[in-house]
Amino acid sequence: MVQGQDSGREKADVPHPLTRFIEPESLELLTGTGADFIEQIGLDVIRDIVLDVLTGKNLRDSTEAITRRRLAALNLAMLSLFLRGSASSPDFVSALPRVASEMLARKGLPKSERWIAQWVLGLTDKAVQNVLRDDGTLYESYTEHYIEACNEMVDNHRKIYGELTGTLQLDTGAEAQIDWLFMAYLLNTIGSQTLTMRGSDKSLIGKLFEKLILGSLLSILGFQHVAPYQIGKGVFWLSSQEEKRESDATLLYDIGQGVRFDIGFIGRGNPEISLDKVTRFERETLIHGKPFYMATIILVDRIGRNSRIERMAEAINGSIVQMSATYWPQRVVEILKDTLGFAHELMSISQDDIEDYLREKLKTVPIENFLKNVRIVGPSEIEPVFPGEQDDVTEDDQIIE
């Protein structure tokens, strides 16, 4: 049973690791590949989201339900951790912060265990960077301050509201007595978990769907997905690393002719960010020693009023396409026609019929092939922000100035 307030420095007489109290299905939500994510969500749902974006809908609106499902599953997994852990040891909850601290002091801790141990202490990767300055020697002192703060709050609530009592029980027989300390630690854990997973999903969903949308669009247009730098006519690959910066997709249309694609579901920017996007690529490049003249197409969610980004793009033979525009893929075909002489039946499809057309074409797109090497990452593993980006930008502020 769970004891009340921590009254001493109990040693960690609790089984390791904490993940033993969480089912594998829940742990898979913390780590995996893009292909794993597709398997969990389902190809039909993924195709529906891709179709939404191809018809001008907001990616974040379309994927919010996925994030909510993951959060709900992990919230319940954290409750299970507390309940099953409490059933295994009468001192589980009171010893839990120091158990987590000892785990974090170890090197080579798997990411899933590291995250859960951090959450137990009310931390995230970013908080470790900012509060502890990535100094693992500070975990012990931080933990003691954390325990003290939680106990003070428990005392205050007991005086204001009285004792909190209750029982949680699984039909397996696992049982835990509930008190204020149990709830304080549990809710702090869930709060930190939510922050981590929100940040993780923002990166995960952006990276996943950048590839999915580009790969799907180019496949629908009849181009063949190949391994990076495989020269051919009408072929494309995803996420090539150029000398200056990364291009999200590279299309080789004909001998010496190609297009680089850059796509971004990013927050409110500024001219510096826009300049970076439209000046990162050279007009000519060598692929296996062969020269290619490369146009650039940049896909963004929206362009702000009075933005200079379109004029800047024209200066490098580039074009900007707003994905918030209805049926923006037709605009991409227009640019490919003007740039390469490419023609496609999509241009003759009426706006009333284009959604059905795209839905039918998406059925044969090999979506899973675009994500085999994509890894789910956490906030500390996300690429650095561009100069001028602010940490407090919200996901809803998807606009390029």
The tokens 């297009």 sit on which residue?
259
How many Cα atoms occupy the beta-carbon half-sphere of 123 within 13 Å? 27
Q: Are 236 and 250 in contact (CB under 8 A)?
A: yes
**Backbone φ, ψ for residue 356 (5° rounding):** -65, -40
**How big, in percent rounded to 5, are the helix, strand and coil portions of the chain?**
50, 15, 35
State the CB neighbour count (10 A cutoff) for residue 81.
Answer: 23
What pLDDT does residue 4 have? Answer: 42
Q: Give the distance, in angstroms, between the CA of residue 215 and the centroid of all CA atoms in the same chain.
A: 18
What pLDDT does residue 315 have? Answer: 61
What pLDDT does residue 392 have? Answer: 36
Q: Which residues of the chain have pLDDT under 50?
A: 1-15, 242-244, 267-275, 376-401
What pLDDT does residue 98 have? Answer: 94
Q: Which two tokens stand for residue 292?
A: 């290619």
The residues spanned by each domain of the chain are 18-204, 224-381
Q: Model's pTM, two decimal places?
A: 0.70
What does DSSP say about strands 175-178 and 257-264: parallel, antiparallel, or unpaired? unpaired
Q: How far is CA 85 from CA 1, 75, 80, in A?
A: 10, 15, 8
What pLDDT does residue 307 have? Answer: 61
Contacts for 230 with CB less than 8 Å, ≥ 6 apart: 237
What pLDDT does residue 26 have? Answer: 85
Q: How far is CA 92 from CA 18, 21, 124, 152, 186, in A?
A: 11, 12, 22, 19, 12
What pLDDT does residue 59 have? Answer: 82
What pLDDT does residue 151 have? Answer: 97
Q: Which helix (H) or strand (E) holds 374?
A: none
Q: Which two tokens stand for residue 145?
A: 């301050």
Cβ burial of 345 (10 Å; 0-12, 13-18, 19+) is exposed
The tokens 């040693």 sit on which residue?
11
What pLDDT does residue 55 have? Answer: 93
